[in-house]
Amino acid sequence: SGGGVKKRACPRTGSFAVIGGAMLKEWVIREKTAEGDALAREIGTAPLIGQILWNRGIRSAQAAQVFLHPEKEPFHDPFLMRDMEKAVRRILHAIHAGEQIVVYGDYDVDGMTSTTLLMKNIRALGGRVAYYIPNRFTEGYGLNGRALEQLAAEGCNLLITVDCGIASVETVAELDAGMDVIITDHHLPGSALPSAYAVINPHRVDCPYPDKELAGVGVAFKLVQALWQMEKQRLYTDDLDIAALGTVADLVPLVGENRKIVKMGLARMSEHPCDGIAALICISGLAGKTINTGMVGFQLAPRLNAAGRIETARSGVELLRSEDRRAADRLAGELNALNTERRDLEQRILAEAEVYLTDFTPDVPAIVVAGEDWNAGVIGIVASRLVEKYYRPSIVLTRQGDIYKGSCRSIAGLHIYEALAACRDTLIQFGGHEMAAGLTLARDRIEDFHRAFANYVDTRMAIEDFTPKISIEALVAPADWTLAAVEELALLEPYGMGNPRPIFGVRNLRPQTAAAIGAEGRHLRMEVGTREHRVAALCWNAGELAEIVTEEIGDLSYTLSINEWQGTRSVQCMIDSILPAAHERVFPERALLKVVYAFLKGLCTADGRIPYNMIALTRRFSREHGHISSYTMETSLCIFRELGLLIPRTEGHWQLVPPTGRLELTDAPTYRRYQERKGDR
């Protein structure tokens, strides 16, 4: 880590256990069980559906029917939540008395949708209501004491939080403004609750509500249900498109009531969304399509989130509450432009962060990088990108005066909050949960924190923990799928946290054709299967493999979709990972490394430059010395880089560096770790 940023481009570097720059994943193949087959017969589905349900802990026909058809299940009684009745009576009193109500939300999509949902319905019930969302950059997350005092001074009689407030114990206790506060939140409470008029949170230890995993907008939805039930004796099921948007965006488990909200909300989005969501769908290029969770998570939600990450989340709320389609279209266009700016910022910061990782090896247990002027609203996304590429717990910091603020993302097996707690002596403050967190530390404590954090991770994680795992539901050749079978898989939707899209695998497959597609050839399109029955397969950000993927036999993991083009429907695979087949995954031992090094030396120009990228090197070596896989070549390059014999150049080529003394292969972490693991087997 460091305080400054080197202003130079960062080339893609060969790293251990990669193919085409992507981390190899270890397959965990689910076993077929008699119980899964029996469940399928009982509910009348294909055996594979029963097996997937069984693997996900759904073990009875009744539970399966509830899971597959959540729209048929009634909503839980909202008054089962602790403090719900007390809160509803206070809100209705404020509505009837004409008191000023303010909804205080968060700046993410969950907070925007929660704010919109509650405001809209309080207004529909006749209330005077406004909203307040703190600025991410100047106020930060949670309740801001100065803001509360100002709201009270402006005449607010009742403040209702959504998606925040449960951790603001001191702020609420210090509030002396003659204003009642109702907290609605879904984050885990601490040892003490805020001393508010009412606290609605299904995670309260004394709350009997049966579904604990609601998003913030889900809690707001239950509050609105209770308001309509008490005031109008009406079963409220409106605004599910708004509730579903926030629920999907907040990555809560899509089981139980969340699943019902999302399934019904997606149908509403596809058929008759509110003006704001309709404009968002249109600007995202999704008009006329059946909206699914992937579209929400990767296209709609990021455009809304861009508001809070770059400027202010108010424009997101204004879009969602708009009742004028022309105004909504204008706001959606502004958010789309902000999202483009967000992506550009993300790519710039990611490239600068990776400058610190040009010497990354398997010995690095954790990533901590820091920049001087990185946008605080984007560093969390950058941390996620680093986890995707390097599969290490990653922390990205940005300087704000004499302190650094950071976002943390973890990997399976490391509780990031507990890791930060173990380093608390080096931090000013921190907070979060198992997989994501935030922190603040003094400028002069970065190195101390980095050492403490890396040591904590290193002592608690084994070598195998740094290989990402992928759950394979079954081994099925792409050509074996029929449209009917893929359509039946749709019973398992909506997909998301707690119910991931099923991934299937196929061994020892050689694509029939391959081509780079999209802008600058970034993506890969292949045809897999047999000559008689070919299936299209798409792999994002893998266009560089088009030159070589048809020359190697690989193991593919994939998900399924149906492609519709000019009235024709066909099965399509979305590739999750491409791994070398077992016989192609040859680790370069000493003898082969000597041959590869001599080959590289023979290609050098007078200044030591090797004017070939990894793919071109693989193909030329195979022609001149016999077949070598891209995995073996890239691993060889990685070992040479770790030994200081190769330097990656910005154009994807390499610079050969003469050795300055005697070298030991075990000085290369990739080689040493392989030998250690081989000795353990």
Tens digits of residue pLDDT in 173-201: 988 778 999 999 998 888 899 999 999 99
Determine the pLDDT at residue 10: 30
**DSSP E strand boundaries for 354-503:** 367-371, 394-400, 403-409, 429-432, 436-442, 469-472, 474-475
| 674 pLDDT more than 80 | yes
Percent with pLDDT over 90 in the chain: 78
Residue 8 has pLDDT above 80, yes or no: no
CB distance 375 to 8 below 8 Å: no
In this structure, what token pair is assigned to residue 59?
């073990």
Instruction: For residue 130, give the H/E element and its range.
Output: strand 128-132
pLDDT in tens, 410-449: 999 999 989 999 999 999 988 877 888 889 999 999 999 9
Instruction: Tell me: pLDDT of 1 over 70.
Output: no
Q: How confident is the model at residue 567 (pLDDT cuts 50, 70, 90)?
A: confident
Question: What is the structure's pLDDT at 5?
Answer: 31
| E strands in 162-311 | 180-184, 198-200
Lookup result for tokens 């579903």:
244
Residue 181's Cβ-count burial label (10 Å; 0-12, 13-18, 19+) is buried
Pairing status of strand 22-23 against strand 18-19: antiparallel
Given a cut of 60, whether residue 22 has pLDDT beyond it is no
629 Cβ partners below 8 Å, 6+ apart?
552, 580, 584, 585, 586, 618
Position 39 scores a pLDDT of 97
Helix (H, G, I), strand (E, B) or coil at 79: helix
More confident: 457 or 10: 457
**414-423 contacts, C-beta under 8 A, 24 or more apart:** 414/457, 414/460, 414/461, 414/465, 419/393, 419/453, 419/456, 419/457, 420/453, 422/452, 422/456, 423/449, 423/452, 423/453, 423/456
Over 60: is that where the pLDDT of 321 sits?
yes
Residue with tokens 């939540």: 81
Contacts with 271 (C-beta within 8 Å, 6 or more apart), sequence order = none
Q: What are phi and psi of 194, to 5 degrees?
A: -60, 145
Q: Cα(first)–Cα(last) distance of the chain, in Å?
A: 35
